[in-house]
Structure 1
Amino acid sequence: MTKHIRVLQIFICVLLISFSGHSQDHPSLILTKEGVQKIRAELGNVPLFDATLEKVKAEVDAEIALGIETPIPKDFSGGYTHSRHKLNFQTLQKAGVLYQILDDEKYAIYIKDMLFQYESMYKDLPVHPQTRSYARGKLFWQCLNDSNWLVYVSQAYDCVYDYLSKKERKQLEKNLFRPFADFISIENPQFYNRVHNHSTWGNAAVGMIGLVMNDDELIQRALYGIEDDGLPVGAKDNDGGFIKIEGQEVGFLANVDEPFSPDGYYTEGPYYQRYAMYPFLIFAEALHNVKPEQKIFEHKDSVLLKSVNILVNLSDADGDFFPLNDAQKGMSYKSPDVVTALDIAYHYGGHNPQLLSIAEEQGKVLLDDSGLAVAIGIRDGKAEPFQKKSINLTDGTKGDEGGVGILRYGNEDMTLVFKYAAQGLSHGHYDKLSFSLYEKGTEILQDYGLARFVNIEQKGGGNYLKENKTWAKQTIAHNTLVQNETSHFGGKYEVGSKFHSELYFFDTSNPEVQVVSAKEKNAYPGTEMQRTMALIKADGFEKPFLLDILKVVSTTKNKYDLPFYFKGQVMKTNFDFSTPKSLETLGSEHGYQHLWAEGTGQPKEDNSKLSWLENGHFYTLTTASLKDDQLQFVRIGANDPEFNLRRDAGLVIRRKNTQNTTFVSVVESHGQYSPVSEFSVNSNSAISKIELMEDNKEYTAVVVETKANGSQLMLLLANEDKQKNKEHTLTIKNKEYSWTGPYEFVKIN
């Protein structure tokens, strides 16, 4: 009996040792022991990796020379203490990589000294003095940035784990890392226990430090959230987004499952997908290395790896992301977050050679196993151009909550971005059936993006400005229909979150005539909208043009506004307009209070034209007009005493006291102007007229007539039946047209 007890005791001891954290190899999160040896063997032979290493070494050496500073937190984003702590965590992560690759003790000493400086500070550190956030951090004004810190610092700790003594590790874990993880999770469930990019960072932070410490409780908390968080259903954050929805799963896996559609589209939009890709992919890589049984890269049909390709597809010809929902313009796939995501996706996703061409543009790689794989692929000439094609991306967990359709002609000679998606969580805008249009990297018709100067202290502490709610999110800020000067869903998040637009059809089988059509039935009670947009390249046109058909059916008479926000200098119009001596706003709420009414005109013909010049190219908007239409030039910037908004221009087509109607417009790019030669070429529109030939419940037909030879192009739409094999017949001016499917494009004459 005694012998059996002794054997049992030994068995228990073995189990305890195996789970104590001392048997785990380090580094193991992002770098691995095997990977470090391979990197060392390749040094000097992989140009992009070597160049990245030298740059990182110079950055870290400069910080070491300056000395360690961990100031008492007091600032918002962009302030000194915020920026200092941010630079600290980035430097710690880089120093850890350098210690492993170069085997130079000075980097380990630097990490150790800074970690203990934070350990000494954190024990008695109160919550941050700035009170704006719904979840205040300690080192930073919000728990989000505290989570950034722990995601990066856990990597540094992993790299020096074996360098530190057991006593030192115990002290750091007891006084710094475990309290830090508990603070951003258990003590702030309103931040941690939700589906949102904020929580993704929090989940990854808790999980990664849990992996280093071999703390299974933290790992489970990261993957599945806090079981009993005490939060009331329906609680909201500062942006009006739901913190807790009844029955919603939480934790890292839920943040993978819910915001991503099966296609890999992230419901908050590409700007926030870019931001969240770092914790998504870096934690996934750590799980893959330490907990391979989790099979994280296979989760939800490998959606994390798939999403990287989608993110690249959501960019213009310059690599800038389309500003869907809250988004800062100019953010591109050259962002460090995307460098991380792309390298990991390449390494673990089958070595897609097209990703290597993007990595070449990025000009740097991760200093780990995945970055080495990318650099070797580029060195060995495996890179292929990334083919961005027309693509329809579904939104929603199951891909059944609308989406985003992108039509591209040629090598991004013209690109349409058509949004018929879900609300997009708290970063969503009220912009059903909105669009933006690009020629290469030039915005022809723009989406405003967000109202925020990220990390610029002078502008609201670098945080969201109030104009983001009063302007940028409102429907009138987008190129889509507004009814009775009221935003979609009344501008109410809890209403908008229940609905999404529906794809009617998407067809890019003919590259010369690409069409997307979607319907919205819930933005306004009693009103249905259908918008069909076609990107067409035809004889008589120098470049592709966009045909826009927006059909409105309502149970009541309304005032409809359809804005087009153009970039550039007005060249001419074919209608007269008057400009006021003193400016007044276009309205008083729902974003209208931010629009100056700069000029008002009436149509003189059946078609109204506006031409403008931008980036050396001419553009013309031609719209089919009704005699009582009002053509309103507007300028953003009213009721903006701190000049937080850009002073961009737009043209609003206003149609009053109307029940059912259809707006038909064409946008052309044509000609060019050189300020050097001072020559203008092809500066006039190629269109003589556009005409709505037929418009009823079942069918709509539009004709575009060219100036060159009077030839006509007609698009026929079946509004009620989109079946591909359905036969349709329509008689127009005594001529019968027959076709199969939801639409037909006809060249007349």
Structure 2
Amino acid sequence: MKTGLHTLLKHKIYLLLLWVLQIYFSSPAQEHPNLILTKTGVKNIRKQLGSIPMFDNTLVKVKAEVDKEIQSGIHVPIPKDMAGGYTHDRHKKNWIILQKAGLLYQLLEDEKYAMYTHNVLKEYAKMYPSLPLHPKKRSYARGKIFWQCLNDANWLVYVSQAYDCIYDYLDKDQRNYLEKNLFVPYANFLSKENPQFFNRIHNHSTWGNVAVGMIGLVMNNQELINRALYGMKIENFDHELKDNDGGFILKKDEKAGFFANLDSPFSPDGYYTEGPYYQRYAMYPFMIFAQALQNKKPELKIFEYKDGVLINSVNTLLNLTNINGDFFPINDAQKGMSYYSKELVSAVNIAYYYGNNSPSLLDIAQKQNSVRLDQTGLSVSQGIKENKRIPFSKNSIEFTDGSNGNEGGIGILRSKDKQHELVMKYSAHGLSHGHYDKLSFSYYHKGNEVMQDYGLARFVNIEQKNGGGYLKENKTWAKQTIAHNTIIQDENSHFNGEYEKGSLHHSEKYIFDTSHPKLQIVSAKESNAYQNTRLHRTMLLLEDLGFQKPLLIDIMQFVSNGAHQFDLPYYYHGQIIDTNFDFETFDTLSPLGLKSGYQHLWLENKTVIDDTKTAQITWLHNDAFYTLSTFTKAKNEILFTRIGANDPRHNLRRDPSFIIRKPQSKNDTFITVIETHGTYNPVTEIAKNSSSSIKEIKEVKTDNENYLGWKIITKDDNEHTFVLCVTNNQKETQHSIYLNNSPIQWIGPYYYSKN
């Protein structure tokens, strides 16, 4: 009996083993490349080389770049420098060259590129097992090859693509050596050993998640892939971790990983809460990992996730640029970054290929004049060759903030000819890269800043300036409210400059309306920046034949329980031409204040208004004239300031500003108009229309405290009358009030007339 049972069990085990072996041997072997390039894609590209100009031109440039590096030899120095130093820049160049060399091996079938890639990786594999933490102790998460884990993650995101491209070139022992000594410990270092870096909602963590996920996909390591997608499970972790700036808090069991970083920072519109500068930076790992997942794990339907937020985000990001393609500097942002960056070349190519081939993206790609050396770049190149391109039109548009689109947003008003662009910020804080500037704005004419946002205080990758990292003035100046074109109470920043407080609140949109033929309007409220004070800013872009160019009208209302000093700064570029008031000058410059950024402003001139009047300042910039006209009352002040006080290392730009001050005010409104007019030709030395066309701004009394009214009167006596209902923003509501004792009626939250 036992013998029969034993025989039966042996038979069943035999059948089970046979079944397992059958499955194993019948399963298709893992093909490489399979992340960004695929076997099929490579074959398709090879067939068309020489017939697709933009792709071919990019390939020629990349080949020349990589050939030059191969000729120079292998350079894998022991890490020691901050950003901008030799070892930092050398390892950064290595990650770029390795990724490109891998592509060239696949596309050109030249083994020298695979051999070079392998030889460099062997040097890293020799060095990595004994490599200590980076000697520079500056980061909340020190790397090994770089001073911060962020750059270590950058390296692995790119190098994983190179490894995928040469995977089949290597034998099993060679792969095992690289994976055991380099790739697996590298991925564990970024994730297991640095949860404060890996398990966050932040662009840093996105890079970390994608680095681990990409190398996991190459090695078919499901544990690493899951870690990347869903975060690192933290054991024996029951305390909070903060970065050196207090810019985030890591909590146990908080959602993390790639999907969490898609869910939380992105609004349904595709706006990324940190702002466009860091959205641009994060788009590379977001899009490249999505492409890899689409190739290897199509069942995830990653480009459909959250209603296609990744594809939407590319369109959003392109709309967050001025007419020249430069990103609007919202929150921490280096000016001059644009959609010509390598991250946006990738994003545009991938969005075109996986987003139904939107022909307007070809317009951007043609301007970028470069493509990815993969199937997405081939597709873009073919579309341009076949003349499928249509213009990418940037119009007035609003983007919501917050994962559910209910945390304020960004409003952009563009003139009909697209020459004037207003950006108003009424968003959430923006994580650790956020600034304390609710209801701030910046304003552009022909891509030039008329009213500018400072951006960040940092010289990225310039070693002499704090190793290329953030300067202390980023905290003491750039993040502070006075550094922005928005209202300040009692010389204190919004939320007292405290991250935890600022992160709890967002402004509320009141109106965004571009339907009027002459008038576009964006309006928002802020109730938490100061205790017991309510702020309401409304900005209008008026295009009327009575003015040479559009007018920007700025209405900033404040209502407080007590009397306070309120300042409204305007940061400009250019040379003052004229004022319609006298002002005091000082023999000795002094800082404007002691804290909250005021300590960085020199007070250059000052005037105290002696009666109600329209104060005007005209300046010249880039051969155009601009006039700021503002309604002022007795004892209001106008201050002329310049950045640079308490800045012994010259870390800050010496930008000028006007500050309109209302001392000891409880309820009042700043009414200001910025007019573009005239030209100056430095060759003919002829100035045209150098004076403002505005004669006066008047506050108009209504019979109801729920309404604000004002008039703009031109020198030819045209009157433009405006009324805003500040308590009801419904488009269908009928309004009936008395304005200067005359009845008026209208439908919707605002009224405009000209006579």
Q: What TM-score range do you get, normalising by the shorter chain?
A: over 0.9
Match of 2:669 in 1: 662
What is the CA-CA distance between 1:269 and the residue it aligns to? 0.3
For residues 503 and 387 of structure 1, the distance between their equivalents in structure 2, rounded to whole angstroms, comes to 25
For residues 517 and 455 of structure 2, the distance between their equivalents in structure 1, rounded to whole angstroms, comes to 29
Of 288, 294, 315 in structure 2, the residue corresponding to residue 288 of structure 1 is 294
Superposed, 1:84-163 pairs within 5 Å as 84-163=90-169
Asked if the contact 1:575–1:602 (Cα under 8 Å) also holds between the matched residues in 2, the reply is no
Match of 1:201 in 2: 207
Deviation track 1:129-155 (CA, whole Å, cap 9, x = no partner) reads 000000000000000000000000000
Match of 1:399 in 2: 405
Residue identity in the other structure for 2:256:
V
1:82 aligns with 2:118: no
What is the CA-CA distance between 1:236 and the residue it aligns to? 1.8
Q: Secondary structure at the match of 1:584?
A: strand
Match of 2:271 in 1: 265
What is the CA-CA distance between 1:66 and the residue it aligns to? 0.0
For residues 18 and 364 of structure 1, the distance between their equivalents in structure 2, rounded to whole angstroms, comes to 42
For residues 633 and 690 of structure 1, the distance between their equivalents in structure 2, rounded to whole angstroms, comes to 21
1:252 aligns with 2:258: yes
Which runs of 5 or more residues in structure 2 are unaligned? 1-7
Superposed, 1:665-744 pairs within 5 Å as 665-694=672-701, 697-707=705-715, 709-744=716-751
Asked if the contact 1:518–1:532 (Cα under 8 Å) also holds between the matched residues in 2, the reply is yes
In structure 2, the CA distance between the partners of 1:246 and 1:723, relative to structure 1 (3 Å rule), is: farther
Asked if the contact 1:534–1:548 (Cα under 8 Å) also holds between the matched residues in 2, the reply is yes
Match of 2:494 in 1: 488
Q: Secondary structure at the match of 1:378?
A: helix
Residue identity in the other structure for 2:148:
Q
Q: Secondary structure at the match of 1:518?
A: strand
Match of 1:3 in 2: 11
Q: Secondary structure at the match of 2:305?
A: helix
Asked if the contact 1:232–1:244 (Cα under 8 Å) also holds between the matched residues in 2, the reply is no
Query: Which moves more between the two structures, 209-218 or 2-11?
Result: 2-11
What is the CA-CA distance between 1:231 and the residue it aligns to? 4.7
For residues 672 and 231 of structure 1, the distance between their equivalents in structure 2, rounded to whole angstroms, comes to 64
Asked if the contact 1:434–1:478 (Cα under 8 Å) also holds between the matched residues in 2, the reply is yes
1:191 aligns with 2:197: yes
Residue identity in the other structure for 1:673:
Y
For residues 381 and 243 of structure 1, the distance between their equivalents in structure 2, rounded to whole angstroms, comes to 50
Q: Secondary structure at the match of 1:453?
A: coil
Q: Secondary structure at the match of 1:3?
A: helix
For residues 502 and 24 of structure 2, the distance between their equivalents in structure 1, rounded to whole angstroms, comes to 51
Residue identity in the other structure for 1:645:
L
In structure 2, the CA distance between the partners of 1:17 and 1:274, relative to structure 1 (3 Å rule), is: farther
Q: Secondary structure at the match of 1:53?
A: helix
For residues 198 and 282 of structure 2, the distance between their equivalents in structure 1, rounded to whole angstroms, comes to 14
For residues 486 and 14 of structure 1, the distance between their equivalents in structure 2, rounded to whole angstroms, comes to 72
Deviation track 1:232-278 (CA, whole Å, cap 9, x = no partner) reads 56532123221325764110000011000000000000000000000
Of 308, 312, 316 in structure 2, the residue corresponding to residue 306 of structure 1 is 312
Q: Secondary structure at the match of 2:34?
A: coil
1:171 aligns with 2:177: yes
Of 464, 467, 470 in structure 2, the residue corresponding to residue 458 of structure 1 is 464
Match of 2:655 in 1: 648
What is the CA-CA distance between 1:725 and the residue it aligns to? 1.0
Match of 2:616 in 1: 609
Residue identity in the other structure for 1:725:
E
For residues 164 and 178 of structure 2, the distance between their equivalents in structure 1, rounded to whole angstroms, comes to 12
For residues 647 and 235 of structure 2, the distance between their equivalents in structure 1, rounded to whole angstroms, comes to 40
For residues 527 and 642 of structure 2, the distance between their equivalents in structure 1, rounded to whole angstroms, comes to 30
CA-based RMSD of the aligned residues comes to 1.3
Q: Secondary structure at the match of 2:60?
A: helix
In structure 2, the CA distance between the partners of 1:633 and 1:246, relative to structure 1 (3 Å rule), is: farther
What is the CA-CA distance between 1:299 and the residue it aligns to? 0.4
Of 626, 638, 663 in structure 2, the residue corresponding to residue 631 of structure 1 is 638
Asked if the contact 1:697–1:720 (Cα under 8 Å) also holds between the matched residues in 2, the reply is no
Q: Secondary structure at the match of 1:523?
A: coil
1:221 aligns with 2:233: no
For residues 585 and 191 of structure 1, the distance between their equivalents in structure 2, rounded to whole angstroms, comes to 39
For residues 682 and 68 of structure 2, the distance between their equivalents in structure 1, rounded to whole angstroms, comes to 44
For residues 697 and 528 of structure 1, the distance between their equivalents in structure 2, rounded to whole angstroms, comes to 15
In structure 2, the CA distance between the partners of 1:78 and 1:511, relative to structure 1 (3 Å rule), is: farther
For residues 515 and 370 of structure 2, the distance between their equivalents in structure 1, rounded to whole angstroms, comes to 37
Query: Which moves more between the two structures, 403-412 or 148-157?
Result: 403-412
Match of 1:341 in 2: 347
Match of 2:599 in 1: 593
Q: Secondary structure at the match of 1:685?
A: coil
In structure 2, the CA distance between the partners of 1:229 and 1:712, relative to structure 1 (3 Å rule), is: farther
For residues 102 and 694 of structure 1, the distance between their equivalents in structure 2, rounded to whole angstroms, comes to 75
In structure 2, the CA distance between the partners of 1:7 and 1:478, relative to structure 1 (3 Å rule), is: same
Q: Secondary structure at the match of 1:320?
A: coil
Of 64, 67, 70 in structure 2, the residue corresponding to residue 64 of structure 1 is 70
In structure 2, the CA distance between the partners of 1:55 and 1:494, relative to structure 1 (3 Å rule), is: same
For residues 304 and 445 of structure 1, the distance between their equivalents in structure 2, rounded to whole angstroms, comes to 31
Asked if the contact 1:231–1:244 (Cα under 8 Å) also holds between the matched residues in 2, the reply is no
Asked if the contact 2:489–2:530 (Cα under 8 Å) also holds between the matched residues in 1, the reply is yes
In structure 2, the CA distance between the partners of 1:524 and 1:119, relative to structure 1 (3 Å rule), is: same
Deviation track 1:306-326 (CA, whole Å, cap 9, x = no partner) reads 100000000001100000000
1:745 aligns with 2:744: no
In structure 2, the CA distance between the partners of 1:230 and 1:425, relative to structure 1 (3 Å rule), is: farther
Asked if the contact 2:216–2:225 (Cα under 8 Å) also holds between the matched residues in 1, the reply is yes
For residues 239 and 295 of structure 1, the distance between their equivalents in structure 2, rounded to whole angstroms, comes to 37
Asked if the contact 2:636–2:661 (Cα under 8 Å) also holds between the matched residues in 1, the reply is yes
Match of 2:577 in 1: 571
Match of 1:34 in 2: 40
In structure 2, the CA distance between the partners of 1:727 and 1:404, relative to structure 1 (3 Å rule), is: same
For residues 84 and 17 of structure 1, the distance between their equivalents in structure 2, rounded to whole angstroms, comes to 44
Match of 1:369 in 2: 375
For residues 10 and 451 of structure 1, the distance between their equivalents in structure 2, rounded to whole angstroms, comes to 66
Asked if the contact 2:237–2:252 (Cα under 8 Å) also holds between the matched residues in 1, the reply is no
Q: Secondary structure at the match of 1:147?
A: helix
Asked if the contact 2:419–2:447 (Cα under 8 Å) also holds between the matched residues in 1, the reply is no
Asked if the contact 1:395–1:401 (Cα under 8 Å) also holds between the matched residues in 2, the reply is yes
Residue identity in the other structure for 2:71:
A
For residues 506 and 158 of structure 1, the distance between their equivalents in structure 2, rounded to whole angstroms, comes to 48
